Amino acid sequence: MNHALIVIDMQNDFCPGGALAVTGGDQIVADINAKMSGASAVVLTQDWHPAQHSSFASQHAGRAPLEVIDMPYGPQVLWPDHCVQGTRGAEFHPELNTDRADLIIRKGFRHQIDSYSAFFENDQRTPTGLEGYLRSRGLTELEFVGLATDFCVAWSAIDAAKLGFSVRVLTGLCRSIDHDGSMAQAEDAMRAAGVTLV
Ligand SMILES: [Zn+2]
């Protein structure tokens, strides 16, 4: 019983009609729910930003969403305002089976830094605590699903592989943003890190 299903950011703002909608994001909810029954543990992540978060294009004069800027911790893609704490957009998709979750981990809650990965913030060194949770429960085999494949899923899977977990990404249960070649880049980076794409 060492297999965790990690469901990345299945929230209203990442689904059609949301502020940062991923095409087809809502189409994978039912299959993700079905997948939960076979897992030893289910972890949900929730993008959870304060209003005026530094990753929002609205906070940078003259900048538009999807432009890249240099932050003290490295390059950062700018996004539309999304997943603001306490808003409907930050809530999970209403059909997602949140009852089955053993743990809900929130990320991106510090104003000055974004967090794509479920393991580390975007400086790639500040831990979220998820590694410790999984290790202390003996969960060594991780399967990732959710949104978006080429950002939060990929960064999470790559970090998990670097940390020594056995990692699979179930691509049929993910959807991507695929901006400017980001999906091909993410697939290459995941494979290079030892992630299995199923
Ligand atoms: Zn975000």
| Catalytic residue status for 152 | yes
CA 1 to centroid of ligand 1, rounded, Å: 32
From 13, 35, 47, 152, active-site residue? 152
Helix (H) or strand (E) holding 183: helix 182-193
CA 119 to centroid of ligand 1, rounded, Å: 14
CA 175 to centroid of ligand 1, rounded, Å: 16
CA 86 to centroid of ligand 1, rounded, Å: 14
Q: What is the mean pLDDT of each run of 10 residues along the chain (198 residues)?
A: 96 98 97 97 98 97 96 95 98 98 98 97 96 98 97 97 98 95 96 97
Give the pLDDT score at 1.
80
pTM: 0.96
CA angle 133, 135, 141 (to 5 degrees): 110
Q: Output the CA–CA distances (angstroms, integers) from residue 83 to 120, 160, 179, 181, in the order listed.
A: 18, 24, 20, 24
The answer to whether 21 and 10 have CB atoms below 8 angstroms apart is no
The answer to whether 140 and 166 have CB atoms below 8 angstroms apart is yes
Other CB atoms within 10 Å distance of the CB of residue 33: 18
Give the pLDDT score at 114.
96
From 107, 114, 150, 174, active-site residue? 107
CA 14 to centroid of ligand 1, rounded, Å: 9
| Catalytic residue status for 107 | yes
CA 31 to centroid of ligand 1, rounded, Å: 24
CA 16 to centroid of ligand 1, rounded, Å: 16
